[in-house]
Amino acid sequence: MYSGKHRQDSAIQELIVSSVKNTLLDHPECCSVEGVPNARTPIVRFFHKPSLTRCDLAFRHGLGCENTKLIEYDAVLLLSKYL
């Protein structure tokens, strides 16, 4: 997974995509799970039923991880206004 410093080679990315896809297939709240390991940016696509959200998980670089941290931080700030 993303360590904050380096990209993984394509074989590792394919392994990660396959592993994440298989994990999501075991969760009933996720459907339409599709792995795309050989894309320019390897992803796993799925639909999250509880939130009615289509999701793409990317594994090529850490930008998605850093964006997630930013979204979490923004969500905490937003919720703190209402608590």
Query: Sorting pLDDT into bands at 50, 70 and 90, what band is 60?
Result: low
**pLDDT greater at residue 27 or residue 73:** 27
pLDDT at 45: 93
Half-sphere exposure of 23 (CA within 13 A, CB side): 8
Task: State yes or no: pLDDT of 70 exceeds 60.
Answer: yes
**CA-closest candidate to residue 5, choices 61, 58, 70:** 61
Residue ranges of the domains in the chain? 10-82
Amino acid at 52: L
